[in-house]
Structure 1
Amino acid sequence: MKAFVMRKIGEVGFLDKPIPKPGPLDAVIRTTAALICTSDVHTLHGAIGPRQDLTLGHEAVGVVQEVGILVKEFRPGERVLAGAITPDWSDRAAQAGHSSQSGGALGGWKFSNVKDGVFAEYFHVNDADGNLAHIPDGVSDEKAVYCADMMSTGFMGAENADLPIGGTVAVFALGPVGLMAVAGARLRGAGLVIGVDSVPKRLELAKHYGADIVVDMSRDDPVARILEITGGEGVDGAIEAVGMDTAFQNAVRVTKPGGTISNAGYHGSGEFVHIPRDAWGLGMAEKTIRTGLCPGGRLRMERLLRVLQSGRLDPTQLTTHCFPFEEIERAFEIMAKKLDGVLKPLISF
């Protein structure tokens, strides 16, 4: 099969690899659609260290090609979604309610980290009964693939912000994760959703997905503006959706005492993330900081697919570019350099 790989830090290319074989609990999927993520670019540039000929990618859907002898829920020929995070569900961390951390910190993150990813004509999924979901009739591959990561991570940001119905929330950075956090906050019943970014198209999409007010940080100080909007009170929850120290600090600054800072961003550079001491109430303002890695698992994927099936959300507004698999190297370059207003490139197989 043909696979798109990280040959070494900073270098990609195509490589012929054997079609994987499933273990007793596993499955092999024939890829039909995939998305490129900014974290794929971080991986290529060394965020998780050197890798040699590692197949990239972690967001994909496809058709079951083969299953292991102990797989009960899936059969060859079925359309399926694979979560970007594929936990080992028998692990102690998973049993304790932290499935994304199975096997250690971030241990549920296997694709294009500790095993080959999904940018190939076929890919392997561990623990298939726990990590695959059937795609309902009427939900296209182009929609379903967003459940693998963007919807799951963005919704996690809103869930971890502990938003009360009618509550207030600020979302810092309106890339794909931030936009899905906006949508998730609206779905959870937030009464005031504020989106922060500087890119006009992203600010426009934030309104489309449910932001009541957008703050252009190239024109306004986002902290001052959010405090002005909320009458100096701050928000019940702030979502950091980019992985930048300044955005995290601003999230702390605009969160009211007793509120929650939800970190959904991938902090791939720098030695430390800083907490502004005064805004944190010198450590005593009862501001909760919650972190998380994209939740995976069949139940999670089924719930997200139900949101699509019911028509409550259409994530394909994030798809700015489409490429056949043969042109994925160009798509990767566009994503890495943030060219042509890119948000998410869709790859078809």
Structure 2
Amino acid sequence: MKAATWAGVNEIAVEDVPEPTILNDRDVILKIRQSVTCGSDLHLVGGYIPFMRAGDVMGHEFIGEVVEVGREVRDRKVGDRVVVAPFAACGSCWYCRQELYSLCDNGNPDPGITEGLWGQSPGGCFGYSHAMGGYAGSHAEYMRVPYADVGTFVVPEAIPDTRAVFASDAASTGWMGADLAGTKPGDVVAVWGAGGVGQMAARAAMLLGAEQVVVVDRVPERLQQVREHIGAEAVDYTSTDVVAELRERTGGRGPDVCIEAVGMEAHAPGAPGIYD
């Protein structure tokens, strides 16, 4: 089958790779319907994430159709259209029982790397280096998904692929940012970063009842999307003093909630940006 693979720093290749097979009884095989390039994929391409190997299949934000199921899979069947969480989680360890799925004790089949680096290992993440389990990602025709009853979610027929796919990562991550920040009705919320996650965080804040949401970025197309599709205010930080602008827009008080939705490789004007 064809897949988009990591070939080196700033190098991506489309290659023929073996089709996945059931390895464990709780696996399913998906035929990928849509796979989205997450901003985190760019960190892999840029060489910021170690332990990638040439030929690794990338991608962790996706929707697919179940074409094969393992013997112990109970809640999924062939033909199900599912959106999938980026992290592999067993659903039964202590961390999963606390709903801390990204820390799953069993999701990373190769924990030695991160245990050596950090003293402990997080769960596994699809298509995101051998430090995170070495799983093949979703930028391919087919993909193996372990612990399918835990990390896959059936999509209702009325929802098209292009809307459902973002529940895999961008929408859920954006919602988590707004939720962890404690956004509540009446709040003024400022979001730094107008990429996919930033826009989803802004929309999530609005759904949680925020009275005013302002998104800060520098890319005109992104800022236009914020205005047109999210319905939030937009600020270009290259053309104004952001702190002064936020105070001006909030009667001198400033935002109640601030969400950083850039995460890595952020840009800044002036001397700090040059130094960085």
* Aligned residue number for residue 18 of structure 1: 18
- Mapping of 1:305-320 within 5 angstroms? none
CA separation of 1:15/1:188 partners in 2, compared to 1, >3 Å: closer, same or farther? same
Output one character per residue of 1:5-27: Cα deviation in whole Å (capped at 9) or x when no partner. 11333332123222212210111
8 A contact 2:62–2:165 mirrored in 1: yes
Work out the CA distance in 1 between the residues paired with 2:142 and 2:73.
Answer: 18
- Mapping of 1:21-32 within 5 angstroms? 21-22=21-22, 23-32=24-33
- Mapping of 1:164-183 within 5 angstroms? 164-183=184-203
2:256 is paired with a residue of what secondary structure?
strand
- Mapping of 1:263-282 within 5 angstroms? none
CA-CA distance at 1:140 after TM superposition: 1.1
Output one character per residue of 1:15-61: Cα deviation in whole Å (capped at 9) or x when no partner. 32222122101111011111112211211222221323110111111
Instruction: Pick from 123, 147, 158 the counterpart of residue 107 of structure 1.
Output: 123
Instruction: Pick from 78, 90, 93 the counterpart of residue 91 of structure 1.
Output: 93
Q: Percent identity?
A: 35
Work out the CA distance in 2 between the residues paired with 1:180 and 1:97.
Answer: 22
1:217 aligned partner, one-letter code: Y
CA RMSD of aligned residues (A): 2.1
2:156 aligned partner, one-letter code: P
1:97 is paired with a residue of what secondary structure?
coil
Are residue 192 (structure 1) and residue 196 (structure 2) matched? no
2:32 is paired with a residue of what secondary structure?
strand
* Equivalent residues, number: 249
What is the TM-score normalised by the length of structure 1? 0.66
Output one character per residue of 1:197-247: Cα deviation in whole Å (capped at 9) or x when no partner. 122222222123445432221211111211232233222210101125878
Work out the CA distance in 2 between the residues paired with 1:41 and 1:170.
Answer: 24
* Aligned residue number for residue 33 of structure 1: 34
1:235 is paired with a residue of what secondary structure?
coil
8 A contact 2:189–2:212 mirrored in 1: yes
Instruction: Pick from 148, 160, 181 the counterpart of residue 140 of structure 1.
Output: 160
1:13 is paired with a residue of what secondary structure?
strand
8 A contact 1:155–1:181 mirrored in 2: yes
1:110 aligned partner, one-letter code: F
8 A contact 2:63–2:164 mirrored in 1: yes
Are residue 126 (structure 1) and residue 146 (structure 2) matched? yes
- Mapping of 1:281-320 within 5 angstroms? none
Output one character per residue of 1:61-96: Cα deviation in whole Å (capped at 9) or x when no partner. 111011110001111122111122232322322223
Work out the CA distance in 1 between the residues paired with 2:96 and 2:183.
Answer: 25
CA separation of 1:57/1:166 partners in 2, compared to 1, >3 Å: closer, same or farther? same
Gaps of 5+ in 2: 106-119, 269-275
Work out the CA distance in 2 between the residues paired with 1:224 and 1:245.
Answer: 24
Higher relative contact order, chain-length normalized (CA < 8 Å, sep 6+): 1
Work out the CA distance in 2 between the residues paired with 1:45 and 1:198.
Answer: 21
CA-CA distance at 1:135 after TM superposition: 1.2
